[in-house]
Structure formats: C-alpha cells, structure tokens
Amino acid sequence: MNEAQYKKLLTVADRKKILVAQGALFRSEIIDAKEAARARLHPDNLTKGALHRLMHVAVNAFASRAIPGVAGLDWEAILPLVISGVSVLSKTPARKKLMRGALVLGVAGVVASLVLNRKKASRGNA
C-alpha cells in the first residue's frame, strides 16, 4: 500500500491529528537546536575550543619539527606530559585565568618566533 492509498483510508480528522503531532515534533526539534547553539556559543565553550585548536596546532608543529631549535628534544616523551598537564589545568577552578594566561603566552611566543625568523631571514638575504 503506497502513501496515497494510505491517506485515502484516513479521515480528515486523523490526518489533522498527524499533522499537528508532526508540527509539535518539529517545533520541539527547533527549540532543542536553538538551545544547543546557545550552549555552544557560551564563552567558556568558545575558550575551550580555541585552546584545543591551539593545542593541536602546537602538537603538529612540534611533531613536524617546524620550529627551529626543538629538533634535539624527545617530543614523544614530552608531549603526553604537556597534554596531560593542560588537561589538569583546564579542570581547575581557576581555569579561565589559566587559559587566558596560557593563550596570551602562546600568542606572544608565536609572535616572537615569527619576528625572530623574519629577522634571521632578512640578515641571511642581505
């Protein structure tokens, strides 16, 4: 039995009940989606996301040894300790202050590294 034949068997009242139920389900899904989006846009969640992205970039940079001066370190032994330390720090009550400080220090380190690399490159080209 296809859908058209099934609809012929239903009365108008039954079809109306089904449509009202589908509308209620749709509205509840919309409300759930709004709440999920609101929760994801909370500043704590945005900070966590930024920190996780920064951590992944740092891990990839260290793993590829793209940062000069770190080729002699045993990153396979150090990185698990660093990652677990960041994980512990992210669960402490002073998490916001620590994350902001780490983020500022990380950005300052990246900027300093870029400036030093450009100075070295300009000296080498001159």
Rg (CA), the chain: 27
- pTM of the full structure: 0.36
Q: 47 and 81, same structural domain?
A: yes
Q: 32 and 55, same structural domain?
A: no
Q: 90 and 49, same structural domain?
A: yes
Q: Residue range 89-116: average pLDDT? A: 75
The range of the structural domain enclosing residue 55 comes to 43-126
pLDDT confidence of residue 33:
92
Contacts of 54 (CB under 8 A, 6+ apart): 103, 106
Q: 104 and 60, same structural domain?
A: yes
pLDDT confidence of residue 76:
67
| Residue position matching structure tokens 């994801």 | 40
Count of domains for the chain: 2
Q: How confident is the model at residue 28 (pLDDT cuts 50, 70, 90)?
A: very high
Structure tokens at 93: 């009550």
* pLDDT surpassing 90 at residue 122: no
Q: 122 and 75, same structural domain?
A: yes
Q: 101 and 83, same structural domain?
A: yes
- Letter for the amino acid at 14? D
Q: 122 and 68, same structural domain?
A: yes
